[in-house]
Amino acid sequence: MCWSATADVVAGAAIASVGAACLIRTRRAGDLPLAPLPLLLGAHQLVEARIWHVGGGTGAATVTWAVIALPVLVVWVPVGVWCAAPRRAGRRVAALVAVGALTAALLAHGLTTRPVRAEIRGHTMAYVIGLPRAELLVAGYLIATVGALLLSGDRWLTGLGVLAGAGALVCWLLWRLEFVSTWCALAAVCSVVLYGWASRRPAPRPALPAVDYRP
């Protein structure tokens, strides 16, 4: 979320460009689910630009924004980390994939049974859904996404988890004050970290050719 339609367009295009660069730099098949995450985040910003343009409301753009932000991301991030994580960390992250899947199912049910409304509040965009047990859903969301990064066993992704957790707290406080929405800035910084991660991942070692030894 950004503070205006123009900011969302600029941020969305920049973040999506970083996502394309991440894909180009990716050399491991297991990294492919996580590497294009900035593409999704960039598209998310562009969707919100449309919401700014129409003045909020309950239209298709608002629903699309909520679907990406809630059930999609809470599954995408832990699954992407699980695919990229070394084997020793895979079991830990797998448990968080299950948490993400359960949280996504509850969020998806909420989105299908309750209207989603976007409201412009100063320099912020607020999304009103009215989900039951919202505190538990937020906890599950953070455990699945930030937790998966922290337990990834990769120093770049662990650092990204620290950045995402601390940045989300700061952005939430600013958003609650209706001062300015800075989520797009956090998404941009996280996307740059993901690019650094994709660029520095070593290429997989080629398999040794089979040798037919017959004395």
Q: Where are the domains of the chain?
A: 5-200
Q: Give residue 131's pLDDT.
A: 85
- Identify the bridge partners of residue 125 per DSSP, sorted by sequence position: 120
Pair 185, 129: CB distance under 8 Å: no
Pair 171, 124: CB distance under 8 Å: no
Low-confidence ranges of the chain (pLDDT < 70): 175-181, 204-215
Q: At what angle do helices 134-150 and 87-113 cross, to 10 degrees?
A: 160
Q: What is the pTM of this model?
A: 0.89
Q: Give residue 180's pLDDT.
A: 62
Residue 146 corresponds to which tokens in the numbers above?
């930030």
Write the secondary structure of the chain as one string of H (helix), E (strand) and C (coil): CCCCHHHHHHHHHHHHHHHHHHHHHCCCHHHCCCCCHHHHHHHHHHHHHHHHHHCCECCHHHHHHHHHHHHHHHHHHHHHHHHHCCHHHHHHHHHHHHHHHHHHHHHHHHHHHCCCEEEEECCEEEEECCCCCHHHHHHHHHHHHHHHHHCCCCHHHHHHHHHHHHHHHHHHHHHHCCCCCCHHHHHHHHHHHHHHHHHHCCCCCCCCCCCCCCC
Q: Give residue 203's pLDDT.
A: 72
Q: Give residue 200's pLDDT.
A: 87
Q: Determine whether 61 is exposed, middle or buried from the number of CB atoms within 10 Å of its CB (0-12, 13-18, 19+).
A: buried
Over the stretch 138-181, which tens digit does the pLDDT of each residue have?
Answer: 999 999 999 999 999 999 999 999 999 998 888 878 766 655 66
C-alpha span between 87 and 89 (Å, rounded): 5
Range 5-200 classified under CATH 3.30.1300: no
Q: Determine whether 73 is exposed, middle or buried from the number of CB atoms within 10 Å of its CB (0-12, 13-18, 19+).
A: buried
